C-alpha cells in the first residue's frame, strides 16, 4: 500500500470551504466530532469544477454516527433517515442538501478509503487539519481523467460499480484503466446479481451523459449486457458510422437517450430490467418500423404506411431517423420540426363529439375509423377547412356505415 499522502492544495481547499459556507453548512460541521472527514463525489466534483445538481455530502465520523445524526437533525430542524442501523449510516435531508454520515469502519482513514470503489472517490478532506488526504493518487487520476481502482474486491462487493465505470465515461469523459477493462470483461456477468432498479438507474445516467456515445460504444464493444444477437440483429447499428449533426442540442438531449437504450438492450432485457412501459413500447415501435424498412424501401411505402408511421412515431421521431437512408434524415427532421406539417404531426379539423352530434354516430370502431380517415386526408392536403371535413365525413359514412334492411 502506498504511503499516506497529506496534500495542502490551497485552491481546492478554499473552494471546498467556500461551498460549505455558501450552503450554510458551518453549523452542521461544528457539531461533528474530532477526526471527522468529507469523502467521495462531492470532493471529486469540486476538484473537477463541476456544479453538482444537488449538494450530496458523504461524511465519516469515528463513532456514533446515528447519535451524531440525531443531534445535527435536532439542531437544524432537518429530516433524518437511518439507512443502515447495523452499520450506523444515516442521512440528513435539508431542502436540496443531502448529508450521509457513517462510522469509520477500520482503525485508520486510509483503511476506510481503501474500501472505496475508485481512486477518484478515495480522496478525503480532513476537517481538523484542513487538508486533503489522497493515499491512492486520486488527484493525479482526476488530472489525467483516468478511472482506476486500487482493489478489484471493492467492485465485486457491489458489482453495480462495474456499470458505474461507464457512467464516469459518459458524464466525466474519463478513460478506463486497462487493468480495469480486463476486470470488467471477466466479471461483467456478476452485474445481474444487482437489483434491477439500480441497474436501470445507472443506464439512465449513462445514456443522458454529455459523452453518452463514447460510453455506449464501450458497452457494446464489451457486450456488457450479454445480448447474444447484438451483431446479428440488424436493429443494432454501427454507431461509429452515424453522423449525429442533424440533431440540434436540445434534440440530442431529448431523443438520443432512447436511441442509445435501444442500441444496448433488446426488448426482453428492457422488461427484465424493469424499464417503464413507455420506454419499452417506444423501443418496440422503433424496432417495428425499422424491420419494415428492412423489407421495403421507404419510397415504396403507401400513403397508409407513411401515415401510420408518423402517427406512431410522432412524439419521438428524431430517435428513429438513424434507421433512415442518410439522404432523407435532414428533410424528415425539418418537416418534423414544422408543427404545422400534418403528415409528421397528424391532427384533425373536427373531433369525435362534433361527428357524433352531426351524424348520430356512437363511440366505437366506426367513429375511430372515420377520424383516422379524416386525419389522413388532412395529412395529404386533401382537406382545407371544417366544411370540407364535414362533407368528406358525410361521404365516408354513406360508403362505410352498416346498411340496415
93 and 163 in a common domain:
no
Both 18 and 138 in one domain: the answer is: yes
Residue 337: inside a domain: no
Q: What cell numbers appear for 142 in the block? A: 482526476
Residues 135 and 264 in one domain: no
Instruction: Please report the pLDDT score of residue 403 as a whole number.
Output: 66
309 lies in some domain: no
The per-residue pLDDT for 260 is 96
Q: Which of 144, 175, 190 is the endpoint of a domain?
A: 144
For residues 132 and 191, membership in a common domain is answered with no
Q: Are residues 201 and 247 in the same domain?
A: yes
Query: What is the per-residue pLDDT for 18?
Result: 79
Neighbours of 131 (CB within 10 A): 18
Within-domain flag for 302: no
The per-type count for the chain, helices as H runs and strands as E runs, is 19, 10
What's residue 3's pLDDT? 40
pLDDT tens digit sequence for 110-139: 999 999 999 999 999 999 988 899 999 999
Could you tell me if 37 and 114 lie in one domain? yes
Asked if the structure places residue 236 within a domain, the reply is yes
Quick: pLDDT tens for 42-69.
999 988 888 766 788 999 999 999 999 9
- Where a domain ends, among 308, 323, 338? 323
Task: Tell me, yes or no, whether 175 and 115 share the same domain.
Answer: no
CA angle 374, 379, 384 (to 5 degrees): 70
- Is the domain of 202 the same as that of 239? yes
* 260 and 362 housed in the same domain: no
Helices (H), 188-325: 196-207, 212-222, 249-264, 267-272, 277-295, 303-313
**CATH value at residue 70:** 3.30.460.10
Q: Are residues 246 and 283 in the same domain?
A: yes
Is 308 part of a structural domain of the chain? no
- The H or E element spanning position 13 is helix 10-22
Which helix (H) or strand (E) segment holds residue 39: the answer is strand 37-39
- pLDDT beneath 50: ranges in the chain: 1-4
Full DSSP string of 292-305: HHHHS-GGG--HHH
Q: Answer whether 165's CB lies under 8 Å from 187's CB.
A: no
Residue 279 lies in a domain: yes
Supply the pLDDT for residue 4: 47
Q: Are 80 and 71 within 8 A, CB to CB?
A: no
Assigned C-alpha cell, 50: 463541476
pLDDT at 231: 54
Query: Do the domain assignments include residue 104?
Result: yes
Domain count, the chain: 3
By C-alpha distance, which of 60, 203, 55, 82 is closest to 126? 60
Q: Is the pTM of this model over 0.75?
A: yes
For 243, phi then psi, to 5°, come to: -100, 130
Residue 1 pLDDT? 34
Q: Confirm whether 336 is domain-assigned.
A: no
Predicted local confidence at residue 44, as pLDDT: 92
Contact, 28 vs 91, CB < 8 A? Answer: no
Query: Could you tell me if 232 and 133 lie in one domain?
Result: no
CATH number of the domain encompassing residue 206 = 1.10.3090.10
The verdict on 108 and 69 lying in the same domain is yes
Q: Which of 277, 305, 323 is the last residue of a domain?
A: 323
Domain of 172 in residue numbering reads as 154-296+316-323
pLDDT reported for residue 285:
97
Contact predicate 240/263, CB 8 Å: no
Amino acid at each position: 500500500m502506498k504511503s499516506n499522502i497529506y496534500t495542502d492544495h490551497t485552491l481546492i481547499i478554499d473552494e471546498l470551504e467556500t461551498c460549505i459556507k455558501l450552503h450554510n453548512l458551518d453549523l452542521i460541521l461544528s457539531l461533528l466530532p474530532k477526526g471527522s472527514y468529507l469523502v467521495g463525489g462531492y470532493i471529486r466534483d469540486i476538484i473537477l469544477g463541476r456544479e453538482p445538481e444537488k449538494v450530496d455530502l458523504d461524511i465519516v465520523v469515528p463513532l456514533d454516527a446515528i447519535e451524531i445524526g440525531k443531534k445535527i437533525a435536532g439542531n437544524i430542524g432537518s429530516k433524518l433517515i437511518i439507512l443502515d442501523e447495523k452499520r450506523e449510516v444515516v442521512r440528513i435531508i435539508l431542502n436540496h442538501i443531502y448529508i450521509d454520515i457513517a462510522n469509520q469502519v477500520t482503525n485508520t482513514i486510509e483503511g476506510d478509503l481503501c474500501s472505496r470503489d475508485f481512486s477518484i472517490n478515495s480522496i478525503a478532506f480532513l476537517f481538523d487539519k484542513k487538508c486533503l488526504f489522497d493515499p491512492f493518487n486520486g488527484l493525479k487520476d482526476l488530472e489525467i481523467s483516468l478511472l482506476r481502482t486500487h482493489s478489484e474486491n471493492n467492485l465485486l462487493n457491489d458489482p453495480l460499480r462495474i456499470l458505474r465505470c461507464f457512467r464516469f465515461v459518459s458524464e466525466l469523459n474519463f478513460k478506463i484503466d486497462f487493468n480495469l477493462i480486463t476486470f470488467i470483461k471477466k466479471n461483467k456477468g456478476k452485474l445481474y446479481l444487482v437489483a434491477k432498479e439500480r441497474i436501470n438507474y445507472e443506464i439512465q445516467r449513462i445514456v443522458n451523459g454529455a459523452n453518452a456515445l463514447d460510453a455506449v460504444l464501450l458497452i457494446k464493444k464489451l457486450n456488457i449486457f450479454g445480448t447474444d444477437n447484438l451483431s446479428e440483429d440488424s436493429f443494432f447499428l454501427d454507431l461509429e458510422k452515424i453522423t449525429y449533426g442533424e440533431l440540434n442540442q436540445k434534440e440530442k438531449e431529448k431523443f438520443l437517450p432512447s436511441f442509445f437504450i435501444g442500441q444496448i438492450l433488446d426488448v426482453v432485457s428492457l422488461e427484465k430490467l424493469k424499464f417503464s412501459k413507455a420506454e419499452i413500447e417506444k423501443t418496440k415501435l422503433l424496432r417495428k418500423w425499422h424491420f419494415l424498412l428492412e423489407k421495403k424501401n421507404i419510397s415504396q411505402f403507401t400513403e397508409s404506411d407513411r401515415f401510420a408511421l408518423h402517427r406512431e412515431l410522432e412524439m419521438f421521431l428524431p430517435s428513429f431517423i438513424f434507421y433512415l437512408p442518410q439522404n432523407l434524415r435532414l428533410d424528415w427532421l425539418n418537416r418534423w420540426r414544422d408543427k404545422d406539417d400534418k403528415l409528421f404531426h397528424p391532427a384533425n379539423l373536427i373531433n369525435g363529439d362534433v361527428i357524433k352530434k352531426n351524424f348520430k354516430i356512437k363511440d366505437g370502431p366506426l367513429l375511430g375509423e372515420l377520424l383516422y380517415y379524416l386525419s389522413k386526408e388532412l395529412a395529404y392536403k386533401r382537406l382545407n377547412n371544417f366544411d370540407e371535413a364535414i362533407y368528406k365525413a358525410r361521404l365516408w359514412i354513406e360508403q362505410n356505415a352498416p346498411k340496415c334492411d
